[in-house]
Structure 1
Amino acid sequence: MLLPGNEPGVKEGWYMSAVFSVIIPVYNVEMYLPKCLDSILSQTFKDFEVILVDDGSKDNCPEICDNYAAEDNRVKVIHKENGGLVNARNTGIRAATGEYICYVDGDDWIAENLLQVMWDKAVRDYKPDMIAFGMIKKFKNKEVEIPQIVSEGLYDKGKLEKEIYPYMIYDKRQSFFKGLIFLSACTKIYKKAVLEKHFCTEEHIHIGEDAAFIYDCAYASESIYFCRDNLYYYNRLNSDSMTGVYNAGRFENNQLLLSYIENKLGGKSENLDMQINAYRTYCLTVAVFHEVKCGRKLSEAATHIKAKLKLTNAIGEIQMEGLPFSIKVFLILLRLHCYVPVLAAAKVISKFRN
């Protein structure tokens, strides 16, 4: 990439790789994609490349991608058959030339100073293996800030081992289920050298794929910079997104995801094993709540859960020790096959929270 001579560390006329590679998996988001791309191309920090991975979109996304690439030589486009989010991200990693990689979903957008803040606060002076920052959820009638809860600053390996890893996935000092590292791939920036060794290699995971590599990357990092700025806009206006669609395969997906995480991080420490156990419980809880949040009849949902629990042994692999009392009650009721009462309670709780 030909970069202006006034960019950080770049001499005039040199062809060099970018500081940041922004990878955007694209699939049927034509209504939102232009806003996403405009937010990236208008960044105040200019030393970056954009890699659009068109994952077999059936709408006008392929044409939109090509039009932007024709107008800005920082934009690269890869058209491919549909392979899912993990496959699209991995395709982007292989094409990236930047020292750092970040992800933006095609229906989201970012603050115009995101990359500038990352450079000024973290990359320029510290070169951390990973950077974490906050997000804003955009709903139709409101927005919700989700700041990075860790105190701002650089955390070296010693500080990570003392203050972050014991509470990385599940922080038992907080309400269930919260951890110090927020579970969003798009509110992180990764040094490419680290991500290349710890990206998610199981491309059949289609729910919770962020967890498959975020914690692994964090645990492998020699340093992480935690930034309190809310710089990512998570679009909850998109009613067609996966979060609102019923998925009958959640239990099987969870089994695949948790086996993957266990293979990567299991046995590293007793504390980390406890956190993985808590995450296993969380995944089961979400799967149960998913049944009622998508409007299924309690009897149908109960039959489905009974079959899936028998198939995947989702409860049998969970250890009760260290879990909150309310979660223990939830698990005991499921082990006693009290599916309808559990689902009824989940329905009430979901309505209350909404």
Structure 2
Amino acid sequence: MEDKETNIIQLQEKLKVQEEKIDQKHVKYIDNLNKITNNLEKNQKEYEKRLIKIDEDITLKKIELEQMQNNNSNKKSNTPKISIIICAYNREEYLKRCLNSVKNQTLKNIEIICADDGSTDNTLDVFRKYANKDHRFKFFTQKNSGPGVARNKAIKMATGEYIMFLDSDDWIELNTCEELYKKVKLNDLDILLFLMKNYSEETGEYYEDSYYNLTPIPDDFENKVFSHEDISNIIFSISISACQKIYKRSLVKKVHFAEKLLFEDNPFFWGVMLQAKRMSLLKKHFYLRSRHTSSITSEYDNKYFDVIPISNKVISIFKELNLVNMYKYQLTNYKINYVSQWYHMMEEKYKNTFWDLMHDDFQKLHEDKKIDSLMLNNLNEPNKLFYLRTLKSRSYVELDYLEKYSDEK
């Protein structure tokens, strides 16, 4: 009996050893299989990357060849690759730096359209001198009407494949046009976004900020082509500056800048961004943004009041494009937050007039039951309270009291 038990135990041990060997072989087999699979996937990805790189290189070589042909040609009839629009009002002090940065671009086949907005200094003379020496410069002057009017006129004059905007006290890196043009042609883009860097005229220092670094857009979008739908959750956080993008001219022709209003970039931004089918990002600081006393502490006075019509123009764009429902949460909060932010930061002397305009504006929203319902159902708590308190108040003093008293509670 004992012998039988011993044999059984020995047999079980042998079986166990065999099972362990089989398990080890199985594990080794699986490991080898995984390695082979990983290598295949890696090789496939490398192969795909090489194909993409080859395709990009071929396209870039074609673009470079085309640029060389255009740069070596003396024919003025060539369609410019890029039209750069510069509007100026009394910017003689900074203008030459701006104009030299576009004059000396490595991409030569460009046109520069300069708009003098009724300057009282020598801005117009500076434009005229550059135009007399370089046929790529065009200029016009108008009575002082604001950048919106000037930019719209310049857009009508533009003949380039793409359009850029440059403020007259700012400047761009010398390879800007060449690098941007390569990217837009490579991917047949409607809009290409890039980064801005700030420059302090007082200290001579460069500095960056998250707004003009386009921080809300994920880094991997630099290698993607996208539309507004792909960034719908962050689009209201993106810099609206018209100068931070290059646009296909056919797209820009569909929209226009708000005229004789401050914040004219705002409706333009939404007009182009919501209609562009192919956008991309280039995370390089091509644009240098001048910051000086006159640009930072400029007196807004009654221009504060433009906030209200500008916000309504933005809503109208969403309506025209049938996108209100898609963006109802962001749009309603944008509307109230945009107005309330300016109300809370303005000087006391402007509040009475601003409150009148704001109260009338909110009252119209409230009387339209469909819009009022949209507001109440989508506004976050702070914006909803401001909307309702403004409607309830009978003056800016009462609104401020309601805000203060409720906050203390």
Question: Residue 114 of structure 2: SS of its match in structure 1?
Answer: strand
Structure 2: gaps (5+ residues): 1-63, 367-371
Cα distance in 2 for partners of 1:39, 1:339 equals 49
Q: 1:351: which partner in 2?
A: none
Q: Which has the higher contact order (CA 8 A, sep 6+)?
A: 1
Match of 1:160 among 214, 222, 227: 227
1:56 aligns with 2:105: no
Q: Deviations over 1:210-250 (max 9, x none)?
A: 111112211111201211112212222141x4862132243
Q: 2:245: which partner in 1?
A: 188
1:81 aligns with 2:143: yes
Q: Is the contact between residue 195 and residue 217 of structure 1 (CA under 8 Å) also seen in structure 2?
A: yes
Structure with a larger share of its residues in helix:
2
Q: How many angstroms does 1:289 deviate by?
A: 3.6
Please say which structure displays the higher CA radius of gyration.
Answer: 2
Q: Deviations over 1:310-331 (max 9, x none)?
A: 3433795672544444444555
**Percent identity of the aligned residues?**
24
Cα distance in 2 for partners of 1:117, 1:46 equals 12
Q: 1:243 to 1:316 in 2, by over 3 A?
A: farther
1:66 aligns with 2:128: yes
Structure 1 residues 283-294: aligned runs within 5 Å: 283-291=338-346
Match of 2:361 among 312, 323, 327: 312
Cα distance in 2 for partners of 1:327, 1:64 equals 47
1:203 aligns with 2:269: no
Q: 1:342 to 1:41 in 2, by over 3 A?
A: farther
Q: 2:284: which partner in 1?
A: 229
Structure 1 residues 118-137: aligned runs within 5 Å: 118-120=180-182, 122-137=183-198
Q: Is the contact between residue 6 and residue 12 of structure 1 (CA under 8 Å) also seen in structure 2?
A: no
TM-score normalized with structure 1 length: 0.79
> Which amino acid is 1:230 matched to?
H
Cα distance in 1 for partners of 2:243, 2:178 equals 16
Cα distance in 2 for partners of 1:115, 1:284 equals 36
Q: 1:231 to 1:46 in 2, by over 3 A?
A: same
Cα distance in 1 for partners of 2:92, 2:323 equals 43
TM-score normalized with structure 2 length: 0.69
Superposed CA RMSD in Å reads 2.9
Q: 1:176: which partner in 2?
A: none
Structure 1 residues 1-354: aligned runs within 5 Å: 7-8=67-68, 10=70, 12-14=73-75, 15-120=77-182, 122-139=183-200, 140-141=202-203, 142=205, 143-145=207-209, 146-149=212-215, 150=217, 151=219, 152-153=221-222, 155-156=224-225, 159-160=226-227, 162-169=229-236, 179=237, 181-200=238-257, 202-204=258-260, 206-239=261-294, 241=295, 244-251=298-305, 253-266=306-319, 267-291=322-346, 296=347, 298=348, 300-313=349-362, 316=365, 319-331=375-387, 334-335=390-391, 337=393, 338-340=398-400
Cα distance in 2 for partners of 1:288, 1:216 equals 25
> Which amino acid is 2:92 matched to?
E
Q: 1:173: which partner in 2?
A: none
Cα distance in 2 for partners of 1:193, 1:243 equals 36
Structure 1: gaps (5+ residues): 170-178, 346-354
Q: 1:125 to 1:147 in 2, by over 3 A?
A: same
